[in-house]
Amino acid sequence: MRRRQRKPLRSPAVYNLVADAIVVENLVKYYGDVRALDGITFRVRSGSIFGLLGRNGAGKTTTLECCIGLNQPTSGKVRIAGLDPANRRDLGTLRRLFGVQLQSTSLPEKATAGEVLRLYAAYYSIAPHPAEMAERVGLEGKLDRQIAQMSGGEQQRLALALALQHDPEIIFLDEPTAGMDAFGRRILWAEVEKLRDAGKTVVLTTHYIEEAQRLCDTICVVQRGKIVAEDTPANLIARFGGAARVSVRADGFTPDLELRSLGTWVEHSDEWQLVTGDEPGLALAAVVTKANQSGATITSLDMHRPDLEDAFVALTGERLGEGQ
């Protein structure tokens, strides 16, 4: 094992002085001949919510596993709060600093939720508070229920409680809402927002656009082991989302000179489509006014503002697709 010159950072108080909670540089991982990670580089500011967005198999989970010491990169550097998760001693310090919810956490079938929470409290040498944790993740009154009798979503929420129970500074969530119902998602999203308010650092992987857009301060779009873009959700949309569109279907409607000044019009069968760089709401209003003036009857009218999905498709040439 390598000898370290400096002392590892031990207390969360010292950790707060590190501006970048996580530094990942040129991470490469081979599985046999397959290059799963092809030079991943990013930094996560302390106290921010960072999202790795990509399709299944893009390399999000492998990246996250390299951050928590479950996987060793073939080459490249990872630093969590200045410590190296590939180093055994550093990882020992880090394990108390971070909390993790894995994609698939299987717990002993015959264990009850309360017992697992108590056992993990012992692992972290903290006082158990299962009732409070159960309430936080919507498992009130279910502490005596055995894992085998819990739904997949309930098990995921228990896994979230296990990740948060010891009040970690850095939280890693791997596809945290996969398999959760709407109730579970609301709970998880609310918890992540509370973590943000408490100044914690969160790294999450997801293939849900809505989740990434709603929670993340910064999003890295990952494709085939590479980061294809990194920015705030708003900037990703502004940079890569493309133009807004207004589509109108109306008998006897043809865009006149004034409407043509708003952008580019294209006619698809009997539908007119406007691609505009301006505010699409105003263009929509203008279209309605003109159609009414010329006596045309509008049969359908649609406006599309660019969103994160558009940016993702533009960046990767692929759709994310919900419920993959």
Closest distance to another protein from the beta carbon of 198 (Å)? 21
3-state secondary structure 75-111: EEEEEECCECCCCHHHHHHHHHHEEEECCCCCCCCCC
Phi-psi region of 299 (alpha: psi -120 to 50; beta: other; left: phi over 0): alpha
Closest distance to another protein from the beta carbon of 107 (Å)? 7
Q: Which of positions 79-98 make contact with another protein (CB under 8 A)?
A: 92, 95-96, 98
Comparison of 99 and 153: residue with beta carbon closer to another protein: 99
106 binds another protein (CB under 8 A): yes
Note the residue count of the chain.
Answer: 324
Pattern of binders to another protein over 217-256, x per CB under 8 A?
----------------------------------------
3-state secondary structure 115-142: HHHHHHHHHCCCCCCHHHHHHHCCCCCC
Phi-psi region of 6 (alpha: psi -120 to 50; beta: other; left: phi over 0): beta
Closest distance to another protein from the beta carbon of 225 (Å)? 20
5 binds another protein (CB under 8 A): no
Question: 218-223 and 226-231: which strand pairing?
Answer: antiparallel
Q: How many residues contact another protein, by CB under 8 A?
A: 26
Closest distance to another protein from the beta carbon of 220 (Å)? 22
Closest distance to another protein from the beta carbon of 36 (Å)? 15
102 binds another protein (CB under 8 A): yes
Comparison of 117 and 220: residue with beta carbon closer to another protein: 117
Q: Write the DSSP string, 219-233.
A: EEEEETTEEEEEE-H
Comparison of 45 and 95: residue with beta carbon closer to another protein: 95
Q: What are the contacts of 191-194 at 24+ separation with CB within 8 A?
A: 191/136, 191/137, 191/160, 191/164, 192/49
Q: Which of positions 20-49 make contact with another protein (CB under 8 A)?
A: none
Q: Distance (Å, rounded) from C-alpha 100 to C-alpha 54?
A: 19
293 binds another protein (CB under 8 A): no
68 binds another protein (CB under 8 A): yes
At 100, which amino acid appears?
A: V
312 binds another protein (CB under 8 A): no
Q: Which of positions 123-162 make contact with another protein (CB under 8 A)?
A: 123-125, 146
Q: Which residue has the tokens 């108590």?
A: 118
Between the alpha carbon of residue 119 and those of residues 114, 116, 123, 129, 130, the distances in Å are 9, 5, 6, 11, 10
108 binds another protein (CB under 8 A): yes
Q: Under the rule (CB under 8 A), what is the footprint of another protein?
A: 68-71, 92, 95-96, 98, 100, 102, 104-108, 110-111, 115, 118-120, 122-125, 146
